[in-house]
Structure 1
Amino acid sequence: MNIDFKMLCNQVTAVGFVPRGVVKSVLDGLIDSLKTYMEIGASVSLGEFGTFRPSFGCKSQVEEGEVGADTLRNRKIIFTPGSLLKDMINKVSIQKLDTANKNNTVPPSSGGEGGGESPDPTL
């Protein structure tokens, strides 16, 4: 599953009771600020959420004078999750889905029209 930017803004709007335009503006500002600071080589901490930092690999050179911008490679951004996300991932429960058992359906309610209980969808 992939959550796009629009869905994320809508969810933050629903949870935070903030207008969608404000959420989008703040997230756009955050992205621009991350870009600004990482362009100068700085790491950016977002508190318990985590830290973004730029990373560059370089081809090995024999002489110091041979090192230059053209020898940089593997430019990437590294995200290190903070305590909030580390705690969340450690508490995630994982269950195996048994696709071989075709009898995984919930039986229909008994008792005729309107007289029975509805099946529990969580079972």
Structure 2
Amino acid sequence: MAIKYKVTERGTPGVSGGGSKKYYASATARQKIDLKQLSERLAAISTVSEIDTIAVLQGLVHLLPEYLCKGNSVSLGDFGTFSVHIRSEGKDTPEAVNAYSITDVKVSFRPSVEFKNRMKTVKFTKHK
């Protein structure tokens, strides 16, 4: 199995008119795998039923935000770690920074070393 890519032309960011243009590989033809497909595959490669797999994944979808909203990082072993990162407005003094200064909340995923190593085996195919 391979990741398909296409070639796209992009200008230089922030340069009027795009500046000098270069060509880059860009992943394409992504197919979304839904919870049902994932649970079927997990059930096929384990001793857990599809229904039990769906229940566990649904539980994870419910619990992850709960723990992250409490300021925790959530480690899923050889899968990786989820954590929260915030962005805020800059203020002139430390005292001026408060909860209203926070402008964005993002969930970050850091894959484990095992996960990264498995991704190093990916092959690529040029999409026509």
- Scaled by the length of structure 2, what TM-score is found? 0.69
Offset of residue 17 of structure 1: 3.1
Instruction: Decide which structure has the larger Cα Rg and report it.
Output: 1
Match of 1:92 in 2: 122
Number of matched residues?
Answer: 98
Offset of residue 38 of structure 1: 0.6
Match of 1:21 in 2: 51
Cα distance in 2 for residues equivalent to 1:18 and 1:37: 25
- Scaled by the length of structure 1, what TM-score is found? 0.71
Question: Which residue identity does 2:39 align to in structure 1?
Answer: C
Identity across matched positions, percent: 31
Cα distance in 1 for residues equivalent to 2:53 and 2:74: 20
Match of 1:63 in 2: 93
Q: Provide structure 2 residue ranges, at least 5 long, that are not aligned to the other structure.
A: 1-30
Structure 1's consecutive aligned runs of 4 or more residues displaced over 6 angstroms after TM superposition are none
Match of 1:113 in 2: none
Match of 2:18 in 1: none
Q: Which has the higher strand share?
A: 2
RMSD over aligned Cα atoms: 1.5
Offset of residue 15 of structure 1: 1.4
Q: Provide structure 1 residue ranges, at least 5 long, that are not aligned to the other structure.
A: 100-123
